[in-house]
Structure 1
Amino acid sequence: MTSPVNFVSLLFPNVTQLDLTGPVQLFSRLPGANIHLAWHRLEPVATDSGFSILPTTTFDTAPQADILMVPGGQGAFELMDDALALDFVRRQAQNAKYVTSVCTGAFVLGAAGLLEGRRATTHWASHPLLELLGAIPEQARVVRDGNLITGGGVTSGIDFALTVAGEVYDAATARAVQLTMEYDPQPPFDAGSPARPEADQDQVRRSMAGARDSREPFVARAAARLY
């Protein structure tokens, strides 16, 4: 893709900030990248980490995205009831080269009707709920289905962003940014997913039950509007 490249991400209250800031940090290192954070208004938006982030544009003034991204967090489920936000996602997706999400941002894409019959992933705790929105859930760090690229939970956003960089630019450019950011993960514990040997399976069961109880009503309402 020739420069400039517009990366447009939703920014919304109670976003998981690393879902947003991890990929955005990587995207900002790419040649010709223009980063746009879109919300209803140009005022500070509180994240789930105790600090706020300023939008750079509104739904009405945002440029057409080359790469549209929706990050996750509990706020993503509340966003599923926001008709204006969903309309923005649909409009942007029509002409975006890539439509993408990180973590539970996939549910916003689903609520906008963009996951029907498409393979997608999200955070493991909410993964089974994707099917309610017509998606084909796939357990993976990053899943690509045509121009749809979805990342798993939170830290998967870095792998996701490198995947997007490789698609939009090329592998050499993605590798150069990976080196610049010293992305060379070597975690001191082996509990990073339910499948890892040190993962606490009681925690897995509690987290999945909690996610189902707190998030399924939002997903069910969105599914009812779609079908």
Structure 2
Amino acid sequence: MTALNILRCRINLVWKDKVPVVTELGLPITATQTFVECPRDLDVLMVPGGMLGSVACMNDPEVMTFLADRGSRAKWVTSICTGGLTIAAAGLLKSYDANATWTISHLLPLMGARHVDKRVVIDRNRMTCGGVTAGIDLGLTLAAKLRGEDAAKRVQLIMEYAPEPPFQSGTPAQAPQIAAAIREATPWMQSQARGAAEAAGKRLGISL
């Protein structure tokens, strides 16, 4: 969202009401528009991540109805991290290439998507990405689509985005033992995500 803010795009945070919502990091965020106030036709629908929040949204009929409706007309439907599960559960990734954060990206096919293991995946007007830092890549890619490559390059420079990670352990392929340990340490969370994905796939009539 930082990239779009630098471009001076009009950004609205949308939720059912304007009661502050606490993120996984404990930060309160207040919506600027409710579902009812949100325009019917959007240039960009962007769904963020957060594992338990994404699962809750996947199981919430009101959220699913809202996303399916706005996503059916949005010029771009995008997601970051576990947000890929959320838009998939709303039926917005059926027959689309897509990605999400590595811990749950394998669940995308349960809801009709084709999982592609890339930081940013574009399929027609769908743009999805992996976790956290891949969201910066998506923001810059989307900026180029909206305002052109030169504008996106300017944003990248303003952000001073020239990553040099201190460790080569940013993907499961680079750190398989750590990835396995993370999966083994989060069985409940994994089961919640799978259960929500399976329920969504059933609603969407997906058969594997």
Instruction: Specify if TM > 0.5.
Output: yes
Structure 1 residue aligned with 2:16 = 40
Unpaired runs of 5+ residues, structure 2, are none
Runs of 4 or more, structure 1, over 2 Å off, are 206-214
Cα RMSD (Å) of the superposition?
Answer: 1.2
Structure 2 residue aligned with 1:54 = 30
**Among the aligned pairs, what percent are the same residue?**
39
Paired with 1:101 and 1:205, the residues of 2 have a C-alpha distance of 25
1:66 to 21, 43, 46: 43
| C-alpha displacement of 1:26 | 1.5
Which of the pair is proportionally richer in strand? 1
| C-alpha displacement of 1:124 | 0.7
Choose 140-149 or 101-110, whichever is displaced more: 101-110
Amino acid at match of 1:55: A
- The 3-state SS of whatever aligns with 1:107 is helix
| C-alpha displacement of 1:106 | 0.9
Structure 1 residue aligned with 2:177 = 202
Paired with 2:169 and 2:117, the residues of 1 have a C-alpha distance of 16
Q: Deviations over 1:181-212 (max 9, x none)?
A: 1111111111111122xx2x233123345353
Paired with 1:67 and 1:98, the residues of 2 have a C-alpha distance of 5
Contact 1:126 1:208 in 2 (8 A): no
Paired with 2:68 and 2:42, the residues of 1 have a C-alpha distance of 12
Structure 2 residue aligned with 1:14 = none
Paired with 1:26 and 1:149, the residues of 2 have a C-alpha distance of 15
Amino acid at match of 2:69: R
Structure 2 residue aligned with 1:184 = 162
Structure 2 residue aligned with 1:86 = 64
Amino acid at match of 2:35: F
Paired with 1:206 and 1:129, the residues of 2 have a C-alpha distance of 19
Work out whether 1:215 is the aligned partner of 2:193: yes
Unpaired runs of 5+ residues, structure 1, are 1-23
Paired with 2:2 and 2:129, the residues of 1 have a C-alpha distance of 16
Aligned length: 200
Amino acid at match of 1:56: T
Scaled by the length of structure 1, what TM-score is found? Answer: 0.85
